[in-house]
Structure 1
Amino acid sequence: MEDLKFDSTKRLAVDYVEGILQPKPTCDTWDQIWNFQARPDDLLISTYPKAGLEQANATPSPRALKTHLPIHLLPPSFLENNCKIIYVARNPKDSMVSYYHFHRMNKGLPDPGTWEEFFESFLAGKVCWGPWYDHVKGWWDAKDQHRILYLFYEDMKRNPKHEIQKLAAFIGKSLDDKVLDKIVHHTSFDVMKQNPMANYTSVPVEFMNHSISPFLRKGTVGDWKNHFTVAQNDRFDEDYKQKMADTILTSHFQFL
């Protein structure tokens, strides 16, 4: 019955803001978003969708705000007020797979169609919040001009304690080992998957259907290998090589 209820709920429409596809509510309130007044002590957490924000969100901080906007659409007050910003980037193949499953269960996003169709949409950048390439490169290029801590999801999985220490130092917090270990525990994927404050299970099923795909699905590195065909992988690698030729970011994303 839950699936029927979910199916009867209409998906949100999408439209463009400055050439970037966005959910219609974002487009309708764009002036308000663009003119948002950040405070100097705000902490902004930014990612391309489904790039693993949970650990950053759980760390002690000033007012924490979250965005998926590419940097050129970021409300100017964040940079004008020299706000601290944490950006988390993730391997694009895993990002694509995770984003696909998020579309499947979330009525706030367009119907992704089949995996094959979504693969094409993602490659073409015709997804909400725009092309992955432009997103990660835009924030990367801005990190030396502004107070931006650029993190990688894979590093957070590999050595969470080290990355949380780095994050804590960035926001001016000194954490002893006991506190660090507690944060590492509570921000681990398995613990957060069971936490209603993090797993979005409180959202009504007609908007997010966790029986289709849970909000916190796997959180692993390399799950793309269970989805990509050999032909898709070859196409993706060629596209990636072309679009990332102008950045050293490629050294941070190891696919194989």
Structure 2
Amino acid sequence: MNRNRQRLIEVLENAFSQSEKIPPEDMVFSYRGILYPSTLSSPETFEALKSFEARSDDVILAGYPKTGNNWLSEIVKELESADAKYTEEEMEERINAEKKLQTFPCLEFGDPGIYERMKKLPSRRIIVTHLPPHLLPPSILQNKAKILALVRNPKDTAVSYYHFYNNLPLVPSFPSWNEYFAAFMNGKLTWGSYFDHLVEWNKYINHESIMMISYEELKENQVLGMKKIADFFGFSLCEEDFHIIAKNTSFQAMKEKSKETHGKFGDILFRKGVVGNWRDLFSAAQNEEMDRKFEDSLGGTKLAAKIKYDVYCKA
């Protein structure tokens, strides 16, 4: 399922080991007013990111943390591999090239030299990022690389990110849900405000090189969602391929293999994978506060319609 499982596990476990020696206040750094994990990136890396050279056939997957990025990336890798029909030699070449990156597979992670090493990756490169469009390197839009932007209803995102934050040793944890909720609403988490993230993506909802897909629509009908993704990227698969990939990338299938694919990180990454879990933690006041925030930020927009806020976020 994962092209280079061992590399991913080694990088993560090394980051976990480093974090044990870091005081909470040094676990994150600020770049352009937004926090990021210091064990995975640096301000110098973000400066170097500006010079990243995108290719027109790059497959860019973008989504705020805990909106389903890992799930989507596995789906797209499976779709791309089924379309490309790599020989064993070609797949070995790709795996060896990815090994040399020496970082977690996310665009904004690594040392400043990561982007030079990425030039040696064979096409098609599948690139994952948590950044909104205005923080992506200019070459991505200039070179017309296609971007699949993933969104998820903000209430489930908040709850999923809360559990992730408090179980991930790379970022400082929160003593209570209430304190975390205030930080989420004010954008005081790594990758900043999810509302700002959505507002920025809404500006690009009609862009010819960008497609929006929601976590919820993939949960509703994964095969239909995958067909939309394949059509957007120009992947050609038979009907049977879609059903096989849906089975291999179901939440349960991925969770069962998480030790193999993600090591210790698997227990942190795969929790419930459901829609509507926000009801377990939100108070009535918090529910109303987020409803107001969402309406003020995105009420009446096409992205709000895509998220189906009234369907998934109303008590």
2:50 maps to 34
- Aligned equivalents of 2:174, 2:44: Cα separation in 1: 22
Where do 5+ consecutive residues of structure 2 fail to align? 1-16, 81-123
Query: Is 2:31 the counterpart of 1:17?
Result: yes
- Aligned equivalents of 1:145, 1:122: Cα separation in 2: 28
1:138 maps to 200
- Among residues 281, 284, 289, which one is paired with 1:230 in the alignment? 284
- Aligned equivalents of 1:113, 1:228: Cα separation in 2: 16
Question: What is the total number of aligned residue pairs between the two structures?
Answer: 244
Change in CA separation of 1:70 and 1:104 when aligned onto 2, cut-off 3 Å = same
1:84 Cα deviation (Å)?
Answer: 0.7
Q: TM-score, normalised by structure 1?
A: 0.87
Change in CA separation of 1:113 and 1:36 when aligned onto 2, cut-off 3 Å = farther
More helix by share: 2
CA contact (8 A) 1:6 1:209 kept: no
The one-letter amino acid of 2:27's match is A
Where do 5+ consecutive residues of structure 1 fail to align? none
1:75 maps to 137
1:58 maps to 75
CA contact (8 A) 1:137 1:247 kept: no
The one-letter amino acid of 2:207's match is Q
1:165 maps to 227
- Aligned equivalents of 1:177, 1:9: Cα separation in 2: 50
Q: 1:109-148 alignment to 2 at 5 Å?
A: 109-148=171-210
- Among residues 202, 207, 217, which one is paired with 1:155 in the alignment? 217
- Aligned equivalents of 1:142, 1:75: Cα separation in 2: 15
Give the percent of matched residue pairs that are identical in Structure 1 and Structure 2.
34
1:46 maps to 62
- Aligned equivalents of 1:187, 1:55: Cα separation in 2: 9
Q: TM-score, normalised by structure 2?
A: 0.72
- Aligned equivalents of 1:127, 1:14: Cα separation in 2: 9
1:9 Cα deviation (Å)?
Answer: 5.0
Question: Which runs of 4 or more aligned residues in structure 1 lie more than 4 Å from their structure 2 counterparts after TM superposition?
Answer: 5-9
1:110 Cα deviation (Å)?
Answer: 2.8
Change in CA separation of 1:197 and 1:150 when aligned onto 2, cut-off 3 Å = farther
